[in-house]
Amino acid sequence: MADVQVKRLSHVGLMANDVNKQTEFYTDRWGLDRIDEDAGTVYLRGENGDHHCLTLRPGDAGLDYIAFEVGSVDELERGVDKLHQRGLPILDAPRTGLEPGVGKALRFKDTDGNIIELFAGMETVKDAYGPRGVKPQAINHVVLHSADRPRLEQFYTDVLGFKLSDNLNNFMTFWRCNTNHHSIALVGPRPDGSSGLQHVAFELKDHLDWLKGIYAMGEAHMPPVWGPGRHLAGSNLFAYFNDPEGNRIEYTAEVEQITDPNYQPHQYMGDAAISDVWSMTTFGGQRRPS
């Protein structure tokens, strides 16, 4: 049994060299709505009603933290002793006021040093979202590089209760905490051997909104760095972009939902490990003959 059973991926924090420029991009180009600011950190929401799905805090560009919601304050409190027993560094003990819009929360570091936030309860915003050509709903998933992927996989299963959904060529693994095919995916280290953020995926309502997003980014002279296409693992539509500070971000839609209690993870190996079904490109970078 896991130390803590998270029920969903909620939001992601990014550090920003220029918070104003990043805020302008994520509101005017990407489609989020600025909802709050506290101590220099800007809070941005999607259309699903949560107080925020993205935060931007001054600092060197890159991942700040990943936040997961748990079912209750009691579960949050029970998890603290388990984290201590595992020797995982706790940065903020459970308390209210850690950030606007959330209830009691704590922060600690995973085995790769990524900051993880666990919280109980998110404020709902009922204000109109406003006229936007593109309306991301929420964060759908986060992909992390890891210099020790097996150890990080063990963390997500034993500590946070994730289950394996798919394995692509033993190169990339996909993990779920609810019906969503993957809220976290893990891949090997960067070329320099380091760990850290690979990309953040924002979910759009359907394939029509997804197409609108790609069109809007193209009209802003920001074409995809990969895509559009459809992944095999998760069956989701994808188009990847870079934000102004080089963070890889994704518009996605139609992510597979796993509802079968007897679901068995797929082990896609060799030529069966397709990264893009539309182009039939494998994870080795080769295009399969049609």
Closest CA to 6 of 179, 178, 238: 178
Count CB-CB contacts under 10 A for residue 64: 19
| Domains in the chain, CATH or no CATH each | 6-122 (3.10.180.10), 138-282 (3.10.180.10)
Phi then psi dihedrals of residue 184, to 5 deg: -130, 140
Kindly state the average pLDDT of the residues 19-43. Answer: 97
Residue 270 pLDDT grade (very low, low, confident, very high; cuts 50, 70, 90): confident
Q: Is pLDDT above 70 for 289?
A: no
Kindly state the average pLDDT of the residues 45-73. Answer: 97
Residue 166 to residues 142, 169, 176, 181, Cα–Cα distance (Å): 15, 10, 10, 9
Residue 47 to residues 131, 132, 149, 150, 205, Cα–Cα distance (Å): 11, 10, 33, 35, 9
- Name 228's Cβ contacts closer than 8 Å, sequence gap at least 6: 210, 211, 214, 237, 238, 239, 278
Q: What is the pLDDT of residues 2-24, one digit of tens each?
A: 899 999 999 999 999 999 999 99
- So what's the pLDDT on residue 1? 83
Q: Is pLDDT above 70 for 244?
A: yes
Residue 283 pLDDT grade (very low, low, confident, very high; cuts 50, 70, 90): low
- Name 32's Cβ contacts closer than 8 Å, sequence gap at least 6: 26, 44, 45, 46, 53, 54, 136
Residue 160 pLDDT grade (very low, low, confident, very high; cuts 50, 70, 90): very high
Kindly state the average pLDDT of the residues 197-210. Answer: 98
Residue type, 105: A
- Specify the DSSP element, H or E, that contains 154: helix 149-158
Distance CA 169, CA 268 (A): 6
Distance CA 91, CA 182 (A): 26
Q: What is the pLDDT of residues 103-112, one digit of tens each?
A: 999 999 999 9
Q: Is pLDDT above 90 for 119?
A: yes
- So what's the pLDDT on residue 272? 83
Distance CA 208, CA 187 (A): 30
Distance CA 109, CA 156 (A): 12
- So what's the pLDDT on residue 249? 98
